[in-house]
Amino acid sequence: MLERSELIQNRYNKVDALRQKGINPYINRFDPTHSSQSILDNADALITSEQKVVIAGRVLTIRSFGKAAFFHVMDGSGKIQAFIKSGMLPDEDFALFKEILDSGDIVGIEGIVFRTKTGEITVLAQRLFLLTKSVRPLPEKWHGLRDTDKRYRQRYVDLIVNEDVHKTFETRSRIISSCRRYLDERGYMEVETPMMQPIYGGALARPFVTHHNTLDMDLFLRIAPELYLKRLLVGGFEKVYEINRNFRNEGISIRHNPEFTMLELYTAYWDYKNTAELLEEMIRTIAQDVLGDTKFIYQGDEIDLAPANGWKRLTMLEAIKAETGHDLHWDEPANAIRLKIGHLIEAPEGKVKDLSAADLIIELFEQKVEPALIQPTFIMEFPKSKSPLAKTKPDDPLVAERFELFMGKLEIANAYSELNDPAEQLLRFQEQARRRAAGDSEAMCIDEDYVRALEHGMPPASGLGVGMDRVAMLFTDSYSVRDVILFPTLRPETGQPSSDEAEDE
RNA sequence: GGGCGUGUAGCUCAGCCGGUAGAGCAGCGGCCUUUUAAGCCGUUGGUCGCAGGUUCGAUUCCUGCCACGCUCACCA
């Protein structure tokens, strides 16, 4: 039940009053001739020509004195000041303003453009139309809406009153379209693969489960589209991509939302090094497109997307050596590695003891190197044991041809040369299945149809996954992923403690 | 899931050595025909997150719960 405070009730009373006078407070259509921005852009011409303009938008702050008032009107392009003065418009329009209009209402204004004595471009109202009555008061005009919970739950209010939030989501949208444009221009085809999958795969993560009633079967929300996209390479498409949501049933944090947007793209006949080149150029192009620059500030650090010698490329072991001084190798026994670096790794009681050599090295990398990666850096070569869908490096059987891209201390992308040997893929799946059986809930399931597809022959190829939310965080200088997701996942809004304790296990 | 913090009017926030609450903005009533958080005068509005406990008395102290933030764990 929605609350009806006195403030809201007063406004509902105005709605009733309008209806009694035969005025519809929620009209069906209105035809503005100008956006606020187009008036500001062409102000001089509009002022001298005294051309009639019609604008529409939401009334923000009203500064009223008796027989005249100023207020700002916000539309999709920005905002512009309006001036209303008794005698300059029909009496009933002025009465509408005095008696009915509240800040938050959506109005149409017909008038001419002029400059106030303080120089602000302003529309002088010759007609005022109420288009939509708002019955709920806006947050305070000076401090706005600060409560983060309310900002996320009632994003519509956040977007009305916080201009920078509006801008952030415009930027996000432009990042996505710029990305599509970049790929479309290079012959990539956008496809849509299943979000509901009978067997989930393509990443190491726990899924959400849903149920189809008629088929009476469980389906998993995808954790990645990877295995479907590679089936399309088998089918003969050579350049495919998908930008869409993935769902991972894991913790929520400042960098993680349960549903998040990934770009995945696959290119036949390429290896991971080709993909790195494409990614570097693509991100730089998007930045130029969206920000107008290849340098930007993220959380106080200037990030340069166009350094003289291109983005840094280091193997994980090189990066560890540069940052910690330790010279490690994938073929060293876990005990030897533990002796060297065990003291550098923070892990809960005794857990370090159980880590494999690859685990220890990755752990060290994540804890000590990742937080230092501010400028765009490709970390090349990952342990094969952690990359069950990637091709092995020909001259190093323990290493997968894989890279991850880091920037602003964030992991942005992951890519590899795709494993296309069906027999080896089956072996890797079987190893994953053993880990699953041993209790690793994030290990992969065996996807027999995927192996069957590989048996038909998948061309050599390289694939890439880019966390688009993370890119949006970078380009909008957002600290939290929730600030670049319009409606982040939240607990349901309730005033009462949850009553279904019976469902807790 | 653990730790720390926050929750008071529509919004932004004070306050509370325990005696049932204040400001600014918004609203309402006045004055006001170039304002920019307009101004001036007056005024309405609160189960102080929820539920218990201690107490003569709880918004304040204690416990539990709920929500949010930070952080650790997990992870991407």
Could you list the pLDDT tens digit for every one of the 505 residues in chain A? 456 678 888 899 999 999 999 999 999 999 999 999 999 999 999 999 999 999 999 999 999 988 999 999 999 999 999 999 999 999 999 999 999 999 999 999 999 999 999 999 999 999 999 999 999 988 878 788 888 888 988 899 999 998 889 999 999 999 999 999 999 999 999 999 999 999 999 998 889 888 999 999 999 999 999 999 999 999 999 999 999 999 998 878 888 999 999 999 999 999 999 999 999 999 999 999 999 999 999 988 999 999 999 999 999 999 999 988 999 999 999 888 888 888 787 765 456 667 788 888 988 898 889 988 999 999 999 999 889 999 999 999 999 999 999 999 999 999 999 999 999 999 999 999 998 888 888 889 999 999 999 999 999 999 999 999 999 999 999 989 999 999 988 877 654 433 333 333 2
- Residue A400 is predicted with a pLDDT of 95
> Which residue has tokens 């062409």?
A42
What is the number of alpha carbons within 13 Å of residue A3 lying toward its C-beta?
Answer: 6
- Residue A503 is predicted with a pLDDT of 32
Q: Which residue is nearest to nucleotide B13 (CA to C1')?
A: A143
* A84 contact to strand B (CB, 7 A limit): no
Helices first, then strands: H and E counts in chain A: 16, 19
Q: Which of A's residues 418-457 have CB atoms within 7 A of nucleic strand B?
A: 442
- Residue A181 is predicted with a pLDDT of 98
* A94 contact to strand B (CB, 7 A limit): no
Q: How far apart are CA A283 and CA A275, in angstroms?
A: 12
Q: How far apart are CA A406 and CA A427, in angstroms?
A: 31
- Residue A497 is predicted with a pLDDT of 37
Q: Is the ipTM of this complex over 0.90?
A: no
Alpha-carbon radius of gyration of chain A = 29
Q: Which residue is nearest to nucleotide B49 (CA to C1')?
A: A495
Structure token pair of residue A145: 């809406």
Structure token pair of residue A347: 């892990």
- Residue A291 is predicted with a pLDDT of 97
Contact assessment for residue A223 and residue A201, using Cβ atoms and an 8 Å cutoff: yes
* A102 contact to strand B (CB, 7 A limit): yes
- Residue A4 is predicted with a pLDDT of 66
Contact assessment for residue A54 and residue A32, using Cβ atoms and an 8 Å cutoff: yes
- Residue A359 is predicted with a pLDDT of 86
* A141 contact to strand B (CB, 7 A limit): yes
Nucleotide closest to A469 measured between CA and C1': B76
Q: Which of A's residues 328-347 have CB atoms within 7 A of nucleic strand B?
A: 346-347
Structure token pair of residue A121: 């471009």
What is residue A209's three-state secondary structure? strand
- Residue A422 is predicted with a pLDDT of 97
Nucleotides of chain B in contact with protein CB (under 7 A) are 1, 9-13, 24-28, 31-39, 44-45, 49-50, 64-76
* A7 contact to strand B (CB, 7 A limit): yes
- Residue A148 is predicted with a pLDDT of 87
Contact assessment for residue A162 and residue A144, using Cβ atoms and an 8 Å cutoff: yes
* A115 contact to strand B (CB, 7 A limit): no
Task: Spell out the SS3 assignment of A470-494.
Answer: HHHHHHCCCCCHHHCCCCCCCCCCC
- Residue A473 is predicted with a pLDDT of 95
